[in-house]
C-alpha cells in the first residue's frame, strides 16, 4: 500500500512539480491535481467546473436537476391538456343529460275554468327542475338541447257531489300542435283522473305544455293530483 501511495505521489510530482514544495495529505494533493487538470474529464451530465473547483454557491447537479424539472413540468402540462381534452369530450357526450322537471297545480278548493279560450295550465308547485327548462310562470317546458324526451301528465277533477257533470279536456301541446289529450264528459261519477305518457323528439328551443280546452274545468284538487313532468332520455345532435 505504501509503495502504491509513493508511486502515485511520485507520478503527481512529475506531473505537477510545484506540488513538491507543499506539505499536504495524499487526498489534498489528489484534489488539487484534479482542480488544476486542463484536459478533458468524463463528467457526462455533471458540471466539471463545479465538481472540482467548487465555486461559491455552486450546485454540481443544478443542470441535470433543472432539465429533470423542465421535463417533469412539460409532462405534467401534457397530462393536464390531455385531461382537459378528455373532460371536454365527456362533457360533449354527457353534458345536458341532467334535464328533468316535475310540477303540480297549487291546491284548489273550487274549480279552475271554464275559460273562453284554451289556456295553458299553470303547474306552479315545482318539485324538480334540473336544467331549468321548465317555466312555472308560463307552465311551459323549453328544451335546452335537442334530444328524445319523455313527458307525462295527469288530469284530475272532483265535483264532490253525485249527478254533477264532469267536464274536462286537457291537451299536451308541442309548438302549438296537439300531441295527446284526455277528456271526460259524464254524470256517472263525480271524481276521475287520467294519465298520458309520450316520447317526443325535440329540437333545442321547442316548447311543450299542457292546456285546458275552452269551456272545460277542473275542480277540487287539494293533493296535487294534476301534474306535469318530463325528462331527457338521450341527447341528439342539433340540426
So what's the pLDDT on residue 133?
94
Q: Tell me the domains of the chain and their CATH numbers.
A: 2-92 (no CATH), 100-235 (2.60.120.40)
Extended beta strands in the chain, E state: 100-104, 108-112, 119-120, 125-130, 134-135, 140-142, 147-158, 166-174, 177-186, 191-202, 207-212, 218-221, 227-235
Distance (Å, whole) CA 156 – CA 123: 13
H or E element in which residue 64 lies: helix 62-94
Residue 8: is its pLDDT beyond 50? no
pTM: 0.59
More confident residue, 11 or 100: 100
Lowest mean pLDDT among 3-17, 117-131, 172-186, 217-231: 3-17
More confident residue, 162 or 220: 220
What pairs with residue 234 in β-bridges? 148
pLDDT tens digits along 167-214 = 889 999 999 999 999 988 887 777 889 999 999 999 999 999 999 999
CB 172 within 8 A of CB 153: yes
Nearest to 102 by CA among 81, 79, 123: 123
pLDDT tens digits along 32-65 = 766 676 666 555 555 666 656 565 555 655 666 6
What pairs with residue 168 in β-bridges? 184
For residue 44, give every residue at least 6 positions away whose Cβ sits within 8 Å of its Cβ, in sequence order, or none.
none
pLDDT tens digits along 114-147 = 999 999 999 999 999 999 999 999 999 999 999 9
Distance (Å, whole) CA 166 – CA 123: 21
The string over 190-217, giving b where at least 16 C-beta atoms fall within 10 Å of a residue's C-beta and e elsewhere, is bebeeebeeebebeeeebbbbbbbeebb
So what's the pLDDT on residue 88?
66
So what's the pLDDT on residue 187?
74
Q: How far is CA 222 from CA 96, 110, 182, in A?
A: 34, 10, 20
More confident residue, 85 or 112: 112
212 half-sphere exposure, CB direction, 13 A CA radius: 24
Amino acid at each position: 500500500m505504501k509503495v502504491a501511495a509513493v508511486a502515485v505521489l511520485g507520478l503527481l510530482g512529475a506531473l505537477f512539480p510545484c506540488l513538491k514544495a507543499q506539505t499536504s495529505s495524499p487526498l489534498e494533493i489528489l484534489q488539487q491535481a484534479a482542480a488544476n487538470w486542463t484536459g478533458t474529464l468524463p463528467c457526462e451530465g455533471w458540471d466539471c467546473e463545479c465538481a472540482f473547483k467548487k465555486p461559491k454557491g455552486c450546485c454540481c447537479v443544478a443542470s441535470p436537476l433543472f432539465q429533470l424539472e423542465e421535463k417533469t413540468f412539460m409532462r405534467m402540462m401534457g397530462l393536464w391538456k390531455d385531461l382537459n381534452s378528455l373532460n371536454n369530450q365527456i362533457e360533449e357526450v354527457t353534458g345536458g343529460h341532467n334535464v328533468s322537471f316535475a310540477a303540480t297545480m297549487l291546491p284548489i278548493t273550487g274549480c279552475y275554468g271554464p275559460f273562453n279560450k284554451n289556456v295553458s295550465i299553470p303547474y306552479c308547485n315545482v318539485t324538480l327542475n334540473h336544467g331549468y327548462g321548465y317555466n312555472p310562470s308560463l307552465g311551459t317546458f323549453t328544451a335546452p338541447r335537442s334530444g328524445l324526451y319523455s313527458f307525462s301528465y295527469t288530469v284530475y277533477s272532483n265535483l264532490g257531489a253525485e249527478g254533477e257533470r264532469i267536464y274536462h279536456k286537457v291537451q299536451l301541446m308541442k309548438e302549438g300542435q296537439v300531441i295527446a289529450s284526455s277528456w271526460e264528459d259524464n254524470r256517472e261519477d263525480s271524481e276521475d283522473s287520467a294519465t298520458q305518457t309520450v316520447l317526443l323528439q325535440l329540437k333545442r328551443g321547442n316548447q311543450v305544455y299542457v292546456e285546458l280546452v275552452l269551456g272545460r274545468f277542473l275542480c277540487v284538487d287539494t293533493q296535487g293530483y294534476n301534474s306535469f313532468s318530463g325528462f331527457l332520455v338521450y341527447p341528439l345532435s342539433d340540426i
